Amino acid sequence: MPGEFEPHAGCWMLWPERGDNWRLGAKPAQQCFVAIATAIARFEPVTMGVSRAHFEDARHQLPAAIRVVEMAHDDAWMRDVGPTFVVHDQRGLVAGVDWGFNAWGGLDGGLYFPWHDDDLVAGKVLEIAGADRYRAPLVLEGGSIHVDGEGTLLTTEECLLNPNRNPSLSRAEIEAYLRGYLDVERIVWLPRGVYLDETDGHVDNLCCFARPGVVLLSWTDDPDDPVYAICREARAILEKERDARGRVFEVHPVQQPGPLCQTAEESAGLAYSHSAKPRRPGDRLAGSYINFYIANGGVVMPLLDDARDAAAVAAVQACFPDREVVGVPAREVLLGGGNIHCITQQQPIGSQST
Amino acid sequence: MPGEFEPHAGCWMLWPERGDNWRLGAKPAQQCFVAIATAIARFEPVTMGVSRAHFEDARHQLPAAIRVVEMAHDDAWMRDVGPTFVVHDQRGLVAGVDWGFNAWGGLDGGLYFPWHDDDLVAGKVLEIAGADRYRAPLVLEGGSIHVDGEGTLLTTEECLLNPNRNPSLSRAEIEAYLRGYLDVERIVWLPRGVYLDETDGHVDNLCCFARPGVVLLSWTDDPDDPVYAICREARAILEKERDARGRVFEVHPVQQPGPLCQTAEESAGLAYSHSAKPRRPGDRLAGSYINFYIANGGVVMPLLDDARDAAAVAAVQACFPDREVVGVPAREVLLGGGNIHCITQQQPIGSQST
C-alpha cells in the first residue's frame, strides 16, 4: 500500500444524500462536497459515486471535469467503504483490498443500519477502475489506518481492537492480516483517537504521515480538554517507537480547532430516523485539521470557521513545502461525523489489470 | 461514426431485469445474456450495466472477466439507450452522441412508461468511458441506424419518420441532424423494417453492413409472409442506390427463421404491468438472423432453435471470412422484443478525453 503522498491516478468520493445525517436534505453538505471535489480536481481526476435518485442533481451541481458514476451507498464515507488500493511491487499492477464493513460497529455501536450498499462500494469502485479485488476477512475502515509506503502502519487500539469490529480476532491475528494485505512490517498502535470521534477513534482524525518519518498530530495545550491527554499519549508512543526503516518519528503538532459543538439550528435541520446516530444541540464535534487529503501536488484541508484556521493552514503548509495547501470550509462535513480525509480515497498510479 | 466492423475498445450491455418483459423473473433471459456476454468477451472487453437491486446477482452470474457496473435502466436495450460513439477524425478522440429516448414511441405506441432511467444511460456510459457527451435534440435509438464508417447511413422511414419520435421535424431536418452528429453524407432510406417489429421497424433487425459496400438482408421466399414484400422492396432500393463513395451495394440475403411465435407457456411466465406491451400466446416474433453483433475478430449471432439456424450461420460466415462466427441460443432475447444487436453497443478504439 503506497503512502497517500505518493502519486495518484485519481480520487474517489461519494455524494452525501441521507437527510438523517446531513442537515437540510443534505444540500449544504452537497455544496461543501462540491467545493472539496473541485479543489481536489485542480490536482488530479475525481470520480463521484452517486445513487440513482441523486444522479442528475449531482451531475448538475458538480463541474463537468468531475466524473460522476452511479453507485448506491448508505452514506458518503469513501475512505471507510472504498477499497484500500495496493500496488504489486513487481508488475506495478493496481489492485484493491475490499475490507468488511459494518458501519463502525455493527449492531453494537454502529452508526446506522443497514450498511449493505456501503459494503458493496469497494467492489463497484474496483470494477470501474479495472483493478483486481481482494476481499479480506476482516472488518476495517480505511480511515483507521495510515501507512508510509515503506512498511509502517499507524492505527489505534480504540478502533482496531474494538470488539464491535472483529471480536473473534486477537491483536496478533489482526496484525497478521494487515501485514499480509498491505505488505507492512511495523505496526504502531496509538491507544485512542480524537475525543468523541464516533468512528471509535480513527487514526486519520488524529495523526497522519506527511512523508516517511514525518507525522502530523492534532494537538491541544488546554489541560481541561480530554484531547490533552490523548495527543500526549500518542506523542509519547511516537517518540518511543521506530518506523519500519528504523527512523525516529518527527512529530509536528497542529493545534486543534474549537472545541466545536453542534448548534441547535444544525440539529433541527436533521431528519429523524430510528437507526441513525442522534446529533443533539451542544454535542461536541470531533474537530481536527489533520483530516485532510493529500493530492498530487496539493493538500486539501478543512477550514472550520475557527480562530485557529490560519495557523493550521500554516502548520500543514510547513510540513508540505512542495505542495499547495488549499483550505476549504468544511464544517458541514464535520457535522456529518468526519472530514475531508474521511470522504476521499486515493487511487495510486499503476497499471490496470483490464 | 465508425462502422461496427471497425476495431472496438469494448462492448456495453445492460442486464435484463423487468419481469413484465422477461419471463420467469427474467432468469432465463439473464442466462441468455450471460452466454452472449461471455461469447463477446472472447473477442473484446464487455461491461454490463446492472441496477442496484440486481448487482450482486449479476456479478455472481457473469464471468469475472466481464466488468459489472451499477447503472439503473428501464430495460436492457443498450443499442437503443446507449450512446452512439463517434471518433474525431483529427484527434482520434472518442465521444458519444446521447440521443433523446422515449421508449420507441413515447405515450403514442411506446413500449413502457417511464423511460427516464433509460434516457440517462448514455450519459452514464460516457462518464465511465471518460468520453465527451453530445446531447442531440433528436429522439433516436441506436438500432434504427447502421453506418459503413465511410459516409453512408442506412435507416427506415417506418421508424425515423414515425410521428411518435420527432413529430416536429421534417425528413430534411432529421437528415441534417444525422449528417451533423454522425458525419454521414449519403442516407439510404428503406421503407419498412421486419414485420411486427415493435420498435417501428429498426433497420438493425432487417439489414446491416458487413463492410463498406456489402450488406446482409433478412429474407424470405414465402409469398404468404408479410416479410416477402418488405425484403424485396428493401433490396430494390439497395440495388438502385449508391453509397457515399459511389459503390453499388452487394446484397446478401439471409433466410429468416420461422415464422416464430410466442408460446402460451412463454406468455404465462410474464408478470403483468399496466404500461408494458402485452405479449400474447401466438403473437408472431420479429425473428431475424441479421440482429447480430460484430466484435473484434468475431460475429456473435442468434440461434433460434430453428431449422434454418445452420444455414444462417453459414450465410453470415460467408460474409465475414476473416471473423469467427459464434452462434448463441437467443430465443429468450427475441421474446423480449429484440436480439443480440439490440442489447449491445460497441465502443470504438480511440483516445479518451479524460
Cβ distance B124 to A67 less than 8 Å, yes or no, reads: no
Query: Mean pLDDT, to the nearest integer, of A158-183?
Result: 97
Asked if omega into A137 is within 30° of 0 (cis), the reply is no
Average confidence score pLDDT of chain A: 96
Q: What is the pLDDT of residues A216-234, one digit of tens each?
A: 999 999 999 999 999 999 9
In a domain, A276, yes or no: yes
In a domain, B335, yes or no: yes
In a domain, A326, yes or no: yes
In a domain, B105, yes or no: yes
For Cα atoms B330, B332, B335, give the angle at the middle one, nearest 5 degrees: 115
Q: Dig out the grid coordinates for B128 from the structure.
A: 465511465
Place of cell 473484434: B296
CATH of the domain at B247: 3.75.10.10
In a domain, B2, yes or no: no
Distance between B78 CA and the closest CA of chain A, angstroms: 16
**In this predicted model, which residue has the larger pLDDT, A201 or A278?**
A201
pLDDT level of residue A67 (50, 70, 90 thresholds): very high
Cβ distance B65 to A123 less than 8 Å, yes or no, reads: no
pLDDT of residue A82: 98
Please report, to the nearest 10 degrees, the dihedral formed by the alpha carbons of residues A229, A232, A233, A236 taken in order. -160
- Give the count of beta carbons closer than 10 Å to the beta carbon of residue A90: 6
Which helix (H) or strand (E) segment is A237 a member of? helix A226-240
In a domain, B253, yes or no: yes
ipTM: 0.90
In a domain, A34, yes or no: yes
Residue of A154, A234, A217, A161 lying closest to A186 (CA atoms): A154
Tens digit of each residue's pLDDT, chain B (354 residues) = 999 999 999 999 999 999 999 999 999 999 999 999 999 999 999 999 999 999 999 999 999 999 999 999 999 999 999 999 999 877 889 999 999 999 999 998 899 999 999 999 999 999 999 999 999 999 999 999 999 999 999 999 999 999 999 999 999 999 999 999 999 999 999 999 999 999 999 999 999 999 999 999 999 999 999 999 999 999 999 999 999 999 999 999 999 999 999 999 999 999 999 888 889 999 999 999 999 999 999 999 999 999 999 999 999 999 999 999 999 999 999 999 999 999 999 999 986 554
Distance between A57 CA and the closest CA of chain B, angstroms: 12
Contact criterion met (CB below 8 Å) for A16 and A77: no
Residues of A in contact with B70 (CB under 8 A): 69-72, 124
Give the nearest partner residue to B70 out of A56, A68, A71, using CB atoms: A71
pLDDT of residue B354: 43
Cβ distance B67 to A354 less than 8 Å, yes or no, reads: yes
In this prediction, what percent of chain A has a pLDDT beyond 70? Answer: 99
Please report, in angstroms and rounded to a whole number, the separation of the first and last CA atoms in chain B: 20
pLDDT of residue A354: 43
Work out how many domains chain B is built from and give that number.
Answer: 1
Which residues form the domain of A268? Answer: 8-348
In a domain, A316, yes or no: yes
The length of chain A, given as a count of residues: 354
pLDDT of residue B352: 58
Is the pLDDT assigned to residue A266 strictly greater than 80? yes
Query: Mean pLDDT, to the nearest integer, of A171-199?
Result: 97
Give the nearest partner residue to A69 out of B45, B68, B127, using CB atoms: B127
Max mean pLDDT among A84-93, A325-334, B275-284 falls in: A325-334
Nearest CA in chain A to B9: A354
Cβ distance A124 to B72 less than 8 Å, yes or no, reads: no
Residue of A188, A193, A191 lying closest to A206 (CA atoms): A193
The DSSP string of A53-70 is GGHHHHHHHS-TTSEEEE
Give the nearest partner residue to A45 out of B56, B71, B354, using CB atoms: B354
